[in-house]
Amino acid sequence: MDDQPRLMHSSHGVGMAGHPGLAQHMLDGTGGADGEGRKQDIGDILQQIMTITDESLDEAQARKHALNCHRMKPALFNVLCEIKEKTVLSIRGAQEEEPPDAQLMRLDNMLLAEGVSGPEKGGGSAAAAAAAAAAGGGGSDNSAEHSDYRAKLSQIRQIYHTELEKYEQACNEFTTHVMNLLREQSRTRPISPKEIERMVGIIHRKFSSIQMQLKQSTCEAVMILRSRFLDARRKRRNFNKQATEILNEYFYSHLSNPYPSEEAKEELAKKCSITVSQVSNWFGNKRIRYKKNIGKFQEEANMYAAKTAANATSVSTHGSQANSPSTPNSAGEYFFLG
DNA sequence: GTGCATGATTCTTT
DNA sequence: AAAGAATCATGCAC
């Protein structure tokens, strides 16, 4: 055991000299058996290994074969393997720590949530349905947009999977190729299984970083699609007639103070099948537009006043006129006069 | 295509 | 935080 360092040391000392004639002599197995001769022997083998890449392919092939058959080869090979093992282990210890990538996990989670990387159909339509629900809308005519969204999502999904498969295939092919190469080389130079393992790890890391780029751009594409789908301003739909009617009825019957409470907004939202914030938007727009041009809305105001009055009389023959805007009892309180 | 209507957003004011 | 005001972007009738 303690002669291993000596072997390596001698390789440095003698290896650089280069004695083709002597080397041939050694490889023939006719060299001396004394200690000094053995050192020379090993040194020449190492020298030949180190210079093998300088030779032509045929020469190198022949040299390789000769070296493989050399009587000292197994011993030298074992020693080199041990040394290699030690250095590889020390390298491993130094650079092995790899925290689970938070970014990658986020991307994976998102792709799963959006139904891009999950099971075939279910996730995608679920996400689309959620997006559709979030979009607010009347709910009747968004099925066309919905299917459009779904089609585009599945397009993204398909591209993603094709690319992913391509990467995986390339990764496997490359890994196999490298492993075959290393296995082949391990016959002439010391390559420990751990080193192969490490190499495979490096390859996988490289490919997974490429995969991450794919995941990132897929996420971006989904986000853009989603934001387009969800951007209500782009896909603005007028409220249906009934909803507008309900909102106008409330507005004109509360003309002196058209500021519905939170509860009233919720009630209106429910009646109109829209969201509370849409109700708030509507009243905000209505107030400002009414105030800006009361004349323009006069006809509408009268119409709804009549309607409200009619409703009131039909409900109660007593003819309550509590909410009649056409007969204000205290005009000074009207919001648009303030 | 044009112009007005309308729902949503953004910024400012209260 | 809610309302007002200005503005944007689309819908729709013509």
pLDDT (tens digit per residue) in A69-79: 877 777 877 77
A79-119 per-position pLDDT tens digit: 777 777 677 666 655 555 566 678 888 888 878 877 788 77
Least Cα distance to A304 among A237, A240, A239, A258 occurs for A258
Percentages of chain A per state (helix, strand, coil), in multiples of 5: 75, 0, 25
CA A187 to C1' C9, in angstroms, rounded, equals 71
Nearest nt by C1' to A235 Cα: C10
With a 7 Å cutoff on the CB, does A136 touch strand B? yes
Nearest nt by C1' to A282 Cα: B7
Q: Any idea which of A31-35, A146-150, A247-251 has the lowest mean pLDDT?
A: A31-35
H helices of A186-293, where? 193-230, 241-253, 262-272, 276-292
Residue nearest to nucleotide C10 (CA to C1'): A236
CA atoms of A131 and A123, how far apart (whole Å): 12
Q: Counting every residue, how long is chain A? A: 338
Mean pLDDT over residues A291-300, rounded? Answer: 91
Q: Any idea which of A51-55, A196-200, A234-238, A258-262 has the lowest mean pLDDT?
A: A234-238
Nucleotides of C under 7 A from a protein CB: 2-12
**Which residues of the protein are close to the nucleic strand C, CB under 7 angstroms?**
A 233-238, 259, 262, 280, 284-285, 287-288, 291, 335
CA atoms of A76 and A69, how far apart (whole Å): 12
Mean pLDDT over residues A326-330, rounded? Answer: 44
Least Cα distance to A280 among A180, A83, A136 occurs for A136
For the ranges A15-19, A30-34, A111-115, A130-134, the maximum mean pLDDT occurs at: A111-115
What's the pLDDT at A3?
Answer: 39
What's the pLDDT at A326?
Answer: 46
Going from the C-alpha of A288 to that of each of A243, A258, A284, A292, A294, the distances in angstroms are: 19, 11, 6, 6, 10
CA A231 to C1' B10, in angstroms, rounded, equals 15
User: What is the DSSP secondary-structure string of A179-210?
Assistant: HHHHHHHTTTS---HHHHHHHHHHHHHHHHHH
Which is more confident, A170 or A133? A170
Residues 6+ apart with CB under 8 A from A205: none
Residue nearest to nucleotide C4 (CA to C1'): A288
The answer to whether residues A122 and A154 touch, using CB atoms and an 8 Å cutoff, is: no
Least Cα distance to A137 among A57, A237, A246 occurs for A237
Q: What is the DSSP letter of A274?
A: S
**Which residues of A spanning 216-275 put their CB closer than 7 angstroms to strand B?**
231-233, 236-239, 244, 274
Residue nearest to nucleotide C3 (CA to C1'): A284
Q: Any idea which of A134-148, A174-188, A196-210, A294-308 has the lowest mean pLDDT?
A: A134-148
On whether the pTM is more than 0.85, the answer is no
CA A274 to C1' B4, in angstroms, rounded, equals 24
CA A5 to C1' C9, in angstroms, rounded, equals 80
Which is more confident, A101 or A208? A208
pLDDT band at A252 (very low <50, low <70, confident <90, very high): very high
What's the pLDDT at A291?
Answer: 93
**What is the token pair recorded at A184?**
């082949």
